[in-house]
């Protein structure tokens, strides 16, 4: 196995938790809909367009509001839309500890409003060697192009990079591009996985 020169990390459910059930119930409470109905109405192409950056902040607001049959002002919508995040405090010190020892990069499927909300909450991202947000690059996981961009960002060959994600589909997609894939589960398991990699 090649020596690890870079650690690439997913964002959602790795560095931050996102409680989608809570998001759907809060949006539903505002729109007079059951959470399950909100989930159903928001399961269309809008998510992908938002993640791809086709929809910016205002496009997301309009798309979601149209789907839910409401018209919320941006300030209220943006606060609701990001109300389901909590920092994964147990994992952040371990990530900080990697900086300077290996190159560290982020590879996230996310949208303009969530990036605007989360960047200030995660100042550690400024110290990453590479931050690839899908909505800023126009490619989403599991597409090969987003992994290529991430590898360019950290300047190493695929086999020199290990990629952590909580979704098996994306771990497999990274492995298909030659990266070492690891399924992220808990902070403790992450610590053990890094130690097994000599980190
Ligand atoms: Mg995730």
Each residue of 8-56: pLDDT tens digit? 999 999 999 999 999 999 999 999 999 999 999 998 778 889 999 999 9
CA of 10 to the centre of ligand 1 (A): 6
**Given the DSSP bridges, would you call strands 16-18 and 85-87 parallel, antiparallel or unpaired?**
antiparallel
Instruction: Tell me the pTM.
Output: 0.96
Torsion (CA) 111, 84, 187, 47 in degrees, nearest 10: -30
Residue 1 confidence class, pLDDT cut points 50, 70, 90: low
Joined tokens for residue 11: 């964002």
For ligand 1, an ion, list residues with CB under 5 A: 10, 12-13, 166
Residue 57 confidence class, pLDDT cut points 50, 70, 90: very high
CA of 167 to the centre of ligand 1 (A): 6
CA of 93 to the centre of ligand 1 (A): 19
How high is the pLDDT of residue 126? Answer: 98
Bridge partners of 180, per DSSP, are: 162
Nearest to 63 by CA among 27, 96, 95: 27
pLDDT tens-place string over residues 79-100: 999 999 999 999 999 999 999 9
pLDDT tens-place string over residues 115-164: 999 999 999 999 999 999 999 999 999 999 999 999 999 999 999 999 99
Residue 2 confidence class, pLDDT cut points 50, 70, 90: confident
Q: What single string gives the DSSP state of each residue in 105-131? A: EEEE---HHHHHHHGGG-GGGGGSSEE
Give the Cα separation of 199 and 123 in Å (integer): 22
Nearest to 167 by CA among 151, 153, 181, 148: 181
Strands (E), the chain: 6-9, 16-18, 85-87, 103-108, 130-133, 161-165, 180-183
């Amino acid at each position: 196995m090649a020596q690890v020169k870079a650690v690439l990390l997913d964002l959602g459910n790795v560095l931050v938790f996102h409680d989608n059930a809570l998001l759907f119930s809060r949006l539903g409470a505002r729109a007079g809909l059951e959470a399950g109905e909100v989930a159903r109405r928001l399961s269309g192409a809008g998510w992908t367009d938002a993640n791809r950056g086709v929809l910016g902040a205002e496009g997301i607001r309009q798309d979601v509001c149209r789907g839910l049959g409401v018209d919320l002002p941006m300030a209220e919508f943006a606060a609701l839309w990001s109300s389901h995040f909590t920092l994964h405090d147990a994992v952040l010190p371990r990530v900080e500890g990697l900086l300077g020892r290996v190159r560290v990069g982020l590879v996230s499927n996310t949208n303009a409003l969530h990036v605007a909300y989360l960047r200030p909450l995660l100042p550690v991202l400024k110290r990453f060697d590479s931050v690839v947000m899908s909505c800023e690059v126009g490619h989403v996981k599991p597409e090969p192009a987003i992994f290529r961009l991430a590898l360019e960002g950290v300047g190493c060959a695929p086999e020199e990079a290990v990629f952590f994600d909580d979704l098996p589909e994306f771990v497999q997609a990274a492995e298909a591009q030659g990266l070492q894939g690891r399924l992220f589960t808990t902070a403790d398991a992450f610590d053990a996985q890094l130690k097994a990699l000599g980190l």
